[in-house]
Chains A and B, each alone.
Chain A
Amino acid sequence: MKAVCWMGKSKVETLTVADPQILNPHDAIIKITRTAICGSDLHLYDGFIPTMEAGDVLGHEFMGIVEETGKAVTNLKRGDRVVVPFTIACGSCAFCKKQLWSACDNTNPNAHLMEAAYGYSGSGLFGYSHMMGGYAGGQAQYARVPFANVGPLKIESDLPDEKVLFLSDIFPTGYMAAENAQIEPGDTVAVWGCGPVGQFAIASAFMLGAGRVIAIDRLPERLQMARSIGAITVDYSEEDVDVLTALKDLTGGMGPDSCIDAVGLEAHSSDLKGLYDSVKVALLLETDRPIVLRQAIQAVRKGGTLSIPGVYGGLLDKVPFGAAFGKGITMKMGQTNMHKYMKPLLNRIQQGQIDPTYIISHRITLDEAPDMYKIWRDKKENVTKIVIDPWATKQAA
C-alpha cells in the first residue's frame, strides 16, 4: 500500500510499504477512505517529538471501511464505516473505566520509554513516535486498529466522510479544551491559536455557553474563519498590539474567565522572549517554546481556568508559576479522552448544530502530502486544514 512516511526532520515521503495485518484478537484492518494532516504532525515534521524513527508511517486522523476483523471483534464487521480515534484504549483498565481513555494502561507496547520520561505511560497513539506506542499511522491506504470493539465509531447515517472525519481528533480535542475551560454561562473565553483545534475550541466554547470568545492568531485567513463563527479577533502581530492589554481592554480590565492555549510547544512570537526560547531550544537547553503558555497564565483572570489542548512534549523554561499560584488559577490539560466525546459530537453534527467541514482548505492525494507538509509548515497557501483521499490519483477539485 501507499503510506506517508517520516524519514527525518523536515523530510516526509510517500512510499510503497507492506499492508498491515491482524496481530491481536481485538484488531481490525481499516481500508482508509479519508485521512488528514494534523497541526501536531508538524511537531513531528519539525523534529520536536523524540523517538520518531525513519520509516514510521504518519497520520492519526483517519476513517474508513472495515476490511477484516480479529476473532475477538464483536462490534464491527466487514463493510462497516468507522471513524477511528487517534488514542488507542483497551476499555477495561482502571483508567478507561474512569473515562480517562487517553491514559489507558494497556495500549502502549513501549510504555517503558514513556515511563522513563513522564513517570507513567499514557495510551498508545497512531503515528506519533515510538514513545507513544510506535503504531503505524493512518496517512496510508490501510491501517491496523487495535481494540476495535472500543475505539472505532460506526457511522450509520449517510453523512459524507468529510463531515465526520474530524471526530478522529481535532473536534473532540477542541471540545475537550472548551470543557476543560470550565465555562459558565456568559463567560468570556480567550483562545490562542486559530488553527483547526482552536477553531473547534471556539465553536465548542460557544456551544458550552460562552458569551464572548476572543481569538488570537496572526494569519488573516484563520482570524477571518474565527470571526465567521462569531469570535472577536486579535492579531498579535499587528504593530502596537499587546495581547495582555488587548485582553484587558476587551474584558473591562478583569481578564478572560478562561484561557485556551491551542498552540502548544512551537509558539511563535515576534518579541525578545520568543528569540530567547528559539535560542534555548537550538542549544538543547529547552525542548518547548512556551510563549503562549506564559501569556495565558498572565492573562487569565484571578481564579480563572487555563485549558491546554496544545501539545507540550518536554521541558519548559521561565513558566510564571508564581502568577499561576498568586491568582489561584486552575489548569487542565492532556491528550483528548477521545472515546468520551465522539458519540455526543457525532450527534451534534447529525442534528446540524455544526458542520466541521468549514475548516478544510485543501484536498489532496497521498503523493501530494510531502509537499503539503512543507507548505503548511512554512505557512504558505493559506492552509487551515488538509484532507487526503488516499485512493485519489490526481488532485481533486
Chain B
Amino acid sequence: MSDALKEKPNAESLPKSNGAAVLIDGHYAPPPADKDGKLWVRTSARIEAEPQQCYDIWRDLENIPSWQEEIVEVRRTGEKTSHWVMRSGDKTIEWDSEILADEPGKRIAWHSIAGDAQNAGEVIFEKAPTGRGAFVTVLQEFRMGKLATAWETLIGRNPKQAVIENLRHLKAMAETGEIPRIEPQPHGQRGTVGEMKKSLYGEKVPVPSGTKERVSA
C-alpha cells in the first residue's frame, strides 16, 4: 500500500483475504458460480453480538432444529460426526455430516459423508470493521440430489434461499432471542389464489421455534 493517503482516522488495516473468499488480495471476489450439478450459495449477516456468541449458537448441534428450517433432529454420532434428519410434509431425508475444521469463535467447516444429501460448507465468524458487532459469512455448496430436490419441491423454497433464511434466523436468535413469525394467526377465508400463494409468502415453511420451551407465561 502506498502512503499517498495518510488521513484515515477510522480505517482498519485491510485484510488481504478473509473467510468464504469474499476478499482476495484486498479485492472483492464474487461467489462461485453454479456448474456441473453443484450449487453454491454465499450469504452474510452483520449481527449485534460477539463472533463467539454466534459461533456458540451454530456449534450447539443438537439445538440446530430450533433455528434451521425443516431440520427436525441433529444427533452427535462421534467427536466430529453427526446425523441429520430433515422433514418436510411426509418426506424425510437423512444424512451424516463430518466437521472438517473447528476454530472456536472463528470458523466451522463441514461436509456430508453419507446418506441422502451431498453438501459441504463453511461458516466464518469475524469481528465487523471498527468493532460493530460480528460478520457471519456462510459459504455452502450442494450437489443436486435428494436434499436440493426435496427442499425445492416440498418446501417451495430453493436450498440457496433456505441457507439465507437460516442465517437470518441465527441473527434474530442472537439479537433478540426469538425468530419473527406470524403463523398461526387469525385470518378470513383465503380462497384458492391465497392457498397457492402460501409458498411464495413462506407460509408453507414452518418458522423454527427459536426456543425449546413453551412461550406463553
Q: Are A93 and B181 in contact (CB under 8 A)?
A: no
A24 CB contact (under 8 Å) in B186, B193, B201, B215: B215
Q: Is B115 an interface position by the 8 A CB rule?
A: no
Chain A residues whose C-beta falls within 8 Å of the C-beta of B176 in the assembled complex: 26, 90-93, 106, 147
Per-position binary interface string of chain A over residues 3-22, scored 1 when its CB falls under 8 Å from any chain B CB and 0 otherwise: 10101000001010111111
Give the contacts of B180-206 with A (CB-CB under 8 A). Answer: 180-191, 193-194, 197, 200-203
Q: Are A72 and B181 in contact (CB under 8 A)?
A: no
Q: Is B42 an interface position by the 8 A CB rule?
A: no
Given contacts A54-B189, A55-B189, contact A25 B211 (CB under 8 A): yes
Q: Is A64 an interface position by the 8 A CB rule?
A: no
Q: How far is the CB of A207 from chain B (nearest CB, A)?
A: 34
Q: How far is the CB of A88 from chain B (nearest CB, A)?
A: 8
Q: Is B46 an interface position by the 8 A CB rule?
A: yes
Give the contacts of A107-143 with B (CB-CB under 8 A). Answer: 107-113, 124, 130, 133-136, 140
- Chain B interface residue count, CB cutoff 8 Å, equals 42
Q: Are A109 and B161 in contact (CB under 8 A)?
A: no
Q: Are A105 and B201 in contact (CB under 8 A)?
A: no
Per-position binary interface string of chain A over residues 83-114, scored 1 when its CB falls under 8 Å from any chain B CB and 0 otherwise: 00000001111100100000001111111110
Given contacts A54-B194, A70-B215, A93-B48, contact A25 B188 (CB under 8 A): no
Bound state CA distance, A391 and B201, in angstroms?
Answer: 32
Q: Are A17 and B46 in contact (CB under 8 A)?
A: no
B178 CB contact (under 8 Å) in A26, A105, A110: A26
Q: Are B181 and A25 in contact (CB under 8 A)?
A: no
> What total count of A-B pairs have CB within 8 Å?
138
Q: Is B105 an interface position by the 8 A CB rule?
A: no
Q: How far is the CB of A257 from chain B (nearest CB, A)?
A: 34
Q: Are A55 and B215 in contact (CB under 8 A)?
A: no
Q: Which of B56-64, B144-152, B164-172 contacts A (4 or more CB under 8 A)?
A: B164-172
Q: Is B216 an interface position by the 8 A CB rule?
A: yes
A5 CB contact (under 8 Å) in B48, B188, B207, B217: B188
With most chain B CB atoms within 10 A of its CB, the pick from A57, A73, A105 is A105
Per-position binary interface string of chain A over residues 48-85, scored 1 when its CB falls under 8 Å from any chain B CB and 0 otherwise: 00010111110000000000111111000000000000
Chain B residues whose C-beta falls within 8 Å of the C-beta of A26 in the assembled complex: 176-178
Chain B residues whose C-beta falls within 8 Å of the C-beta of A93 in the assembled complex: 48, 175-176
Bound state CA distance, A73 and B215, in angstroms?
Answer: 10
Q: Are B175 and A105 in contact (CB under 8 A)?
A: yes
Bound state CA distance, A111 and B181, in angstroms?
Answer: 11
Bound state CA distance, A147 and B180, in angstroms?
Answer: 9
- Tell me the nearest residue of chain A to B128, going by C-beta: A94
Q: Is B159 an interface position by the 8 A CB rule?
A: no
- Tell me the nearest residue of chain B to A140, going by C-beta: B186
Bound state CA distance, A53 and B191, in angstroms?
Answer: 9
Bound state CA distance, A7 and B187, in angstroms?
Answer: 10
Given contacts A112-B161, A134-B201, contact A22 B187 (CB under 8 A): no
Chain A residues whose C-beta falls within 8 Å of the C-beta of B178 in the assembled complex: 24-26, 72
Given contacts A25-B211, A69-B217, A105-B171, contact A110 B186 (CB under 8 A): no
Bound state CA distance, A134 and B182, in angstroms?
Answer: 7
Q: Is B133 an interface position by the 8 A CB rule?
A: yes
Q: Are A22 and B215 in contact (CB under 8 A)?
A: yes
Q: Is A146 an interface position by the 8 A CB rule?
A: yes
Bound state CA distance, A112 and B188, in angstroms?
Answer: 24
- Tell me the nearest residue of chain A to B46, going by C-beta: A94
Q: Are B188 and A23 in contact (CB under 8 A)?
A: no
With most chain B CB atoms within 10 A of its CB, the pick from A54, A68, A90, A147 is A54
Q: Are B181 and A24 in contact (CB under 8 A)?
A: yes
Q: Is B210 an interface position by the 8 A CB rule?
A: yes
Given contacts A71-B215, A71-B216, contact A109 B181 (CB under 8 A): yes
Q: Is B27 an interface position by the 8 A CB rule?
A: no
Chain A residues whose C-beta falls within 8 Å of the C-beta of B191 in the assembled complex: 54-55
Q: Are B180 and A109 in contact (CB under 8 A)?
A: yes
Q: Is A1 an interface position by the 8 A CB rule?
A: yes
With most chain A CB atoms within 10 A of its CB, the pick from B186, B202, B216 is B186
Bound state CA distance, A134 and B178, in angstroms?
Answer: 17
Given contacts A26-B176, A135-B182, A147-B176, contact A53 B194 (CB under 8 A): yes
Q: Is B80 an interface position by the 8 A CB rule?
A: no
- Tell me the nearest residue of chain A to B157, going by C-beta: A112
B181 CB contact (under 8 Å) in A23, A92, A97: A23
A53 CB contact (under 8 Å) in B171, B190, B202: B190
With most chain B CB atoms within 10 A of its CB, the pick from A13, A23, A94, A112 is A23
Q: Are B181 and A17 in contact (CB under 8 A)?
A: no
Q: Is B75 an interface position by the 8 A CB rule?
A: no
- Tell me the nearest residue of chain B to A108, going by C-beta: B180
Q: Is B132 an interface position by the 8 A CB rule?
A: yes
Q: Is A301 an interface position by the 8 A CB rule?
A: no
Given contacts A23-B215, A94-B133, contact A106 B180 (CB under 8 A): yes
With most chain A CB atoms within 10 A of its CB, the pick from B48, B188, B197 is B188
Chain A residues whose C-beta falls within 8 Å of the C-beta of B211 in the assembled complex: 25
Chain B residues whose C-beta falls within 8 Å of the C-beta of A7 in the assembled complex: 188
Q: Pull 26 A–B residue pairs with CB atoms less than 8 Å apart, ordered by A.
A: A1-B186, A3-B186, A15-B189, A18-B184, A19-B186, A20-B186, A22-B215, A23-B184, A25-B211, A26-B178, A53-B201, A54-B190, A54-B191, A55-B187, A68-B216, A71-B215, A71-B216, A94-B133, A97-B48, A106-B172, A106-B180, A133-B180, A133-B182, A136-B182, A144-B185, A146-B180
Q: A72-B177, A144-B185 are in contact. List 9 more A-B contacts (CB 8 A).
A: A72-B178, A92-B48, A94-B46, A94-B48, A106-B172, A111-B168, A113-B202, A134-B182, A136-B182
